A = this chain, B = another copy of it.
Amino acid sequence: MRDFIFENKTKVYFGKDQLHHLHEEISRFGNKVLLVYGGGSIKKIGLYDKVIAQLKEAGAEVFELAGVEPNPRHTTVNKGATICKKEDIDVLLAVGGGSTIDAAKGIAAAAKYDGDDVWDLVTGKGHVTERLPIITVLTIAATGSEMDRGCVISNMETNEKSGFFGESPAVSFLDPTNTFSVSAYQTASGSADIMSHIFDVAYFSKGGCMDMLTRVQEEVLKTVVKYAPIAVKTPDDYEARANLMWAASWALNDFLYDGYFQATVCHAMEHELSAFYDITHGHGLAILTPRWLTYVLDEENAPIIKRFGVNVMGVDESLPLMDGAKAAIDALSAFFFDTLSLKSRLSDLGIDESNFEIMAKKACAPEGVLYGFTNLTPKDVEAIYRMCL
């Protein structure tokens, strides 16, 4: 069992009647606010107006950065940082999903960085020393960025998607009703992202976790398996949306793990797909995960894969070890591709093998290997990509 440090400073307001606290929280940090959001869906659902009303009540001076992309670009982050520096912004208010929040995290750090390109902070050319505080209003259950320290940013000039760690948001507002309008496709993709965080960070790893935490991870996974199909079918089911929303915040949260110790293998492989083809992150993870598990399945890995099948997917415990593990992978595939109706192949997304070699190499950079459940070389990663075609 590993030693670990747990600390999470994010204050969470959870529920359907909490946004009226936003003006108080804004006021704690200052008067000048940069409102960061995406393509305008927050206007369609009326959330923009509610947020603006709270900002007025706080007496805030508001600047806006709209149009954050689904895989947020470093150029957009730089734009935000320029506004912060010029206008002496006190606090960032990110209203949206993981991409918007990740962009805000990039801006928060870049705003306090002497250089003028956030990509320096990704590559290590520059270092994060200080950052602006962030408040989030979440609109999709998926990335866990609302309580997590990390951010991932895309550089479309170099086809790179990478990130850095900072602080988790100071305050996050999680209102399940703000996810009622999330499409069936994005709900399914987000659900795959939630599950993948648990798989990738610790559940499918060499060391596993403290027994209690492994059991808790299984309950969070079961929560997704139970409620994602309900949310897909009945988008305004509060119970389903609430459970998915809190599951997402738990899935990438230090309190679910006893420390991190492996590369997040599927995430590393998926980041290359998003960087080259700008696909939906969670969908890429759904396609990759069953193939990855099939590729690494051996006598040593089979017990935890079978256990996942039995405890989470309802696989028959009496099956022999390898059969049970295969049944677990089949059940996961059926969940993603039949129950949640996600397309199962990269070719369905217009991706062919032309970039697999370079993507595999980049996924394994800088050490040339992805350490974890089973260590993967670029050759292994390329083989997994091919299995997804």
Integer count of this chain's copies in the complex: 2
Does the CB pair B238–A223 fall under 8 Å?
Answer: no
Residue A216 CB within 8 A of the other chain: yes
Residue A3 CB within 8 A of the other chain: yes
Given A216-B216, A242-B210, A3-B14 contact (CB < 8 Å): yes
Q: How far is the CB of A23 from chain B (nearest CB, A)?
A: 16
Given A211-B239, A219-B216, A243-B212, A4-B15 contact (CB < 8 Å): yes
Which residues on B sit within 8 Å (CB–CB) of A157?
Answer: none
Q: How far is the CB of A141 from chain B (nearest CB, A)?
A: 12
Which residues on B sit within 8 Å (CB–CB) of A11?
Answer: 5-7
Selected from B6, B14, B238, the residue in CB contact (under 8 A) with A4 is B14
Cα of A6 to Cα of B250 in the assembled complex, Å? 12
Does the CB pair B210–A215 fall under 8 Å?
Answer: no
Q: Across the two chains, which residue of chain B brings its CB closest to A175?
A: B3
Q: How far is the CB of A18 from chain B (nearest CB, A)?
A: 6
Does the CB pair B219–A223 fall under 8 Å?
Answer: no
Residue A233 CB within 8 A of the other chain: no
Residue A330 CB within 8 A of the other chain: no
Cα of A219 to Cα of B256 in the assembled complex, Å? 13
Which residues on B sit within 8 Å (CB–CB) of A287?
Answer: none
Residue A246 CB within 8 A of the other chain: yes
Contact pattern, A 146-163, Cβ under 8 Å of B = 1, otherwise 0: 000000000000000000
Cα of A210 to Cα of B240 in the assembled complex, Å? 10
Given A3-B14, A6-B11, A11-B5, A211-B238 contact (CB < 8 Å): no
Does the CB pair A14–B243 fall under 8 Å?
Answer: no
Which residues on B sit within 8 Å (CB–CB) of A4?
Answer: 14-15
Does the CB pair A5–B9 fall under 8 Å?
Answer: no
Contact pattern, A 1-32, Cβ under 8 Å of B = 1, otherwise 0: 11111111111111111100000000000000
Residue A220 CB within 8 A of the other chain: yes
Q: How far is the CB of A143 from chain B (nearest CB, A)?
A: 18
A residues near B, CB below 8 A?
Answer: 1-18, 210-213, 215-216, 218-220, 222-223, 226-227, 238-239, 242-243, 246-247, 250, 255, 258
| 23 A-B interface contacts by CB (under 8 A) | A3-B15, A3-B17, A4-B14, A4-B15, A5-B13, A5-B14, A6-B11, A6-B12, A7-B11, A8-B8, A9-B9, A14-B258, A210-B246, A211-B223, A211-B226, A211-B227, A212-B219, A212-B250, A213-B246, A215-B223, A216-B216, A216-B220, A218-B219
- Given A215-B222, A216-B219, 11 other A-B residues pairs in contact with their CB atoms under 8 A: A1-B238, A4-B14, A5-B18, A6-B12, A7-B10, A7-B11, A210-B242, A212-B243, A213-B246, A216-B216, A219-B219
